[in-house]
Amino acid sequence: MDEQALAKACLSGDTLAQEELYKRYAAKVFTLCKRYSGDVDEAKDLLQETFVKALGSIQAFTFRGEGSLYGWICRIAINLSLNHIRRYSWRNTPLDLSKRDYLPEPTEDEIERIEEEKLLEMISALPTIRRAVFNLFCIEGYSHKEIGEMLGISEKGSSSILSKARVQLKESIQSYLKELEK
Amino acid sequence: MKRWEDIIKEKLEGYESPLPEGVFAGMHTLVKGAVPVNKGIPVLWALVAAVAAALAIVFFIPRAEKANEDIQFVQRSEEQTFPLPESESSSVEHITTVVAKSNSSLVAREVQPEQTVVSQEPAKEISQEEIPNSHSPFIPENTASELSEIKIRTLPVIVASGGALATIAALLVTERPSEPSANGTEVMMGEEDSGVSGETPAVPKDELLGTTHGFPFKVGVTTRICLSDRLFFTTGLNYSIYKSSFSYSLSGQKTQHAHYLGIPLRLDYNLVPGRWFDVYVGAGVEVSKCLYASMAGKSIKKDGIIMSLQGVGGLQLNITNRWGFYIEPELNWNVPSTAVILNTYRSEHPLEFSLATGIRYVF
């Protein structure tokens, strides 16, 4: 069943189509949720909310080619995560003390030695705002201007937060690699 | 050359995390609208409501004195016997027998192993209003309903959660009697006989018999500034009151009140951050100044600036994203200082345990 037919079936309330939708995309969406969330429980809640919202507003989906349904569901997950971050961020706005970036960048070989689950864990371990900015800039490909509008921060702030996120992630990678060598 | 972030992006692009169990079943139910999302919050609120209700029942139910079924009342006879005051009767065994009477004045007669006739005054009817409860070990049957005390402890309850927390704080307020203070003051009544003439009688000294310090309680308005996801800097204003009772041999009971205003400077770490509750620990200092001190209603000399080291473990109820209500058991070590001149719980216990509550604004 292609995405357009699947979306139509879900719109008509077909339980089997809903199950098919979940089976097809839940694992990938859960990976995205893990990247944006601080822990597994939060990612689980986000995944559930995403699919509930997707199935609840499937009538708003417009098919634009294969892959657009998956992209639409991912967009819902990201928006839900950003809503939570926006609510959370202005409650706890860190002063974010500056840190010098003296660590070398990890090589391709070094990154290949790290399992995907461990990488997700490292990204999840970043503070909320840093995690969001890293995901939006490095993984989703948004600009600092767009990120600033999404999170309610300045463009310069987004750039500064990203550099701190990079430093912290590099530290996590280096310390994990040292553990592996032991 | 690829950036290391792009390498991470490519590595994660096609990856699918193993799904947790039961997610689809829960999601399916939610889609049907059958069951609302349960994130455990109602359990917490049910617990808070149950605690508040239980405490309200304990503290708000009126209590009435029960009439003892074994008590009978007799009419006062020519020989008038007076029951001993409570403080003196504690060591005397009483065999109390009275005969109940339906109407007329009733007086309790205590029959002791050896009857003690206190006075030979003619018998006098005592009306019901004159029977003092503090001297009568029991309440006459027909006056039980009139004289029964309805004890209602009232506590300031503003909101259900604030009331439950305030009641918990009140439970911790216990007076700790201490031994007569070494610094107890003696009030001289009149002039003391210098012994020159040998004829002037000695003026009795108003000696301090005992001191009781009330448990300190703090209320404050504080603010919290985020340093990182879990680390905060807390400061604000804390008002605390130290109440002490002094018993003197001649002048009786006197109560001292000392009011302090303190500024805490503390680092707090959020152990369990949550949408509704934060559980945190903290350490820092507090600088306090005594604003006003009084003894038996009269102003007295007060303490100076006091510094204390503070350790806290706290619970904050997040009312909104910015405002919260907190309750903090605290352990304070008061830095020894000559500025401390009052005899309070603080001076008696340099390492003091106190309870602070209040509202907090989070930056």
From chain A, the residues in CB contact with B32 under 8 A are none
Interface contacts A/B by beta carbons within 8 Å:
100
Torsion sign, CA atoms B159, B160, B165, B171 = positive
Q: Across the interface, do B20 and A92 touch by the CB < 8 Å criterion?
A: no
Q: CB contact, 8 Å: B272 with chain A?
A: no
With cut-offs at 50, 70 and 90, classify the pLDDT of residue B3.
confident
A174 exposed, middle or buried (CB, 10 Å; 0-12, 13-18, 19+)? middle
The rounded distance, in Å, linking the Cα atoms of B51 and B157 is 14
Give the model's pLDDT for residue B168.
54
The rounded distance, in Å, linking the Cα atoms of B327 and B356 is 6
Half-sphere exposure of B106 (CA within 13 A, CB side): 20
From chain A, the residues in CB contact with B227 under 8 A are 94-95, 97
Q: How many CB atoms lie within 10 A of CB B116?
A: 11
pLDDT digits (tens, 9 = 90+) for A72-106: 999 999 999 888 777 665 444 454 555 556 778 88
CA distance A60 to chain B (A): 16
Q: Would you call A86 helix, strand, or coil by DSSP? A: helix
Nearest by CB: B363 against A47, A93, A96: A93
Q: How many CB atoms lie within 10 A of CB A112?
A: 11
- Farthest-apart Cα atoms in chain A, separation: 57
pLDDT per residue of chain A (182 residues) written in tens, 0 to 9: 788 888 888 888 888 888 888 888 999 999 999 999 888 888 888 998 899 899 888 888 888 888 889 999 999 999 998 887 776 654 444 545 555 567 788 888 999 999 999 999 999 999 888 999 999 999 999 999 999 888 878 888 888 889 989 999 999 999 999 988 87
Higher-pLDDT residue of B26, B173: B26
With cut-offs at 50, 70 and 90, classify the pLDDT of residue B44.
low
The rounded distance, in Å, linking the Cα atoms of B95 and B110 is 7
Q: Across the interface, do B17 and A117 touch by the CB < 8 Å criterion?
A: yes
Q: To which residue do tokens 């439950």 refer?
A: B164
pTM, whole model, 2 decimals?
A: 0.44
Higher-pLDDT residue of B251, B286: B286
From chain A, the residues in CB contact with B362 under 8 A are 91-92
Q: Across the interface, do B7 and A116 touch by the CB < 8 Å criterion?
A: no
CA distance A19 to chain B (A): 8
Q: Across the interface, do B229 and A128 touch by the CB < 8 Å criterion?
A: yes
**β-pairing, B351-362 with B217-226?**
parallel
